[in-house]
Amino acid sequence: MSAPSASINNFVSEQKLAVSFRLVLSLYWIIPLALVLQGLDQFFWQNYLKSSLPSSPYHFVLFQILFGTPHVVASNILLVSNKEYVIHFRRQIMTMTAAIAIAYVLGNMLLPYRFLYACVAGWTVFHVLKQQYGIARGLCQLPENVFKLLLWLSVFAGLAIYLGIFIRSGLTAEEALWIKWAASAGCLLLLVAAVVNRHWPTTAFGKQFYWANIFLVLTSFYLYVQEQYFMAILVPRFVHDATAYVFYVTHDYNKHRRQPQNALYRAAAKINCHIFIVLPVLSFALAFVLQAYGDEWINWLTRHLFGVEFYKVITLAFLGYLGLMHYYMEGLTWQKDSPYRQYIAFTK
């Protein structure tokens, strides 16, 4: 996702909604909130949160139901529920599906698990940060080289933090230390690069977005060092997922508000379900069902039909496929030449 610098007055006059930069920026208030909670926990609550929250957010099914899975499901629903989008992107969908299948088979046969995990983790971190940097890029008036420098330094640091949290139980003390040093070096270089290039944003609003993205990474690093692993992942995850829903709801409202354009919104219109809540409610409901019961249902079905059980067909294979497809397609569907973009513009 990226933000154009061109005027949107004509769009706003024709459409009811545009993505609000102020709304997106307000999502970054989770940064000071997390820091305040960490401080209170350390100095007044005897590390109650640190000891009570799971060491990884993904240990809680509830976390996956609230963050991560719903917006992945939502983006895939948005794509497949609109026939013209499927037709427009059919070549990319088929190519990516084949690539995922081949990579899964060959990867499991030829490559170490840690390497595969690091590749997926790197793509995840890149996807999360590229969305936020892409949205702010126009406001910050960053040249291509500066944009890429800040983005890739953030990805390097973010990947080290991600691996330091999610695979730490399988690391030796020396490996854990090296990952922590890599995260430290990445954050230091990011901060230096941010200070050197701080003159590019010329407006107060642009500067706020500029530093919000920098501190998104630095805050996650600080919480990681403080062993507040839950909040270290929660901060960027919340900003990313909530931002994505702002885009999805804006798109769907502008596309379907006058006349429902697909079966999903025609069904919603029949029961007087407001456009604002159709995709969020459906995606959260599906995320809950798939995450909490999907594997159990598939195991029951295959056990009764074939006498065998399959390991995490839904939570690992199906949702993993949707996640990788989401990472790939989001890089295409919000480009300027995409049919999505006729229903999206930006306003302060």
Looking at residue 60, what is its pLDDT? 60
Instruction: For residue 346, list its beta bridge partners.
Output: 19
pLDDT at 6 over 50: no
Burial label for 64, CB within 10 Å (0-12, 13-18, 19+), is buried
* Tens-place pLDDT, residues 279-330: 999 999 999 999 888 888 888 888 777 777 777 788 888 999 999 999 999 9
Query: Does residue 161 form part of some domain?
Result: yes
Query: Does residue 3 form part of some domain?
Result: no
Structural domain boundaries enclosing 60: 9-347
CB 287 within 8 A of CB 62: no
Q: Which helix (H) or strand (E) holds 20?
A: strand 19-20
| DSSP structure string for 291-336 | IIIIHHHHHHHHHHHHS---TTIIIIIIHHHHHHHHHHHHHHHTST
CB 34 within 8 A of CB 224: no
Mean pLDDT of 155-161: 97
Banded model confidence at residue 55, pLDDT cuts 50, 70, 90? low
Looking at residue 208, what is its pLDDT? 96
CA distance 206 to 21: 10
Looking at residue 168, what is its pLDDT? 86
Q: Other C-beta atoms within 10 Å of 330: how many?
A: 20
Residue 290 DSSP symbol = I
pTM of the model: 0.90
* Number of folded domains that form the chain: 1
CA distance 244 to 89: 20
* Tens-place pLDDT, residues 30-40: 999 999 999 99
Looking at residue 10, what is its pLDDT? 47
Query: Does residue 129 form part of some domain?
Result: yes
Query: Does residue 4 form part of some domain?
Result: no
Query: Does residue 2 form part of some domain?
Result: no
Query: Does residue 229 form part of some domain?
Result: yes
3-class DSSP string for 35-97: HHHHHHHHHCCCCHHHHHCCCCHHHCHHHHHHCCHHHHHHHHHHHHCCHHHHHHCHHHHHHHH
Find the range with the poorest average confidence among 4-8, 63-67, 94-98: 4-8
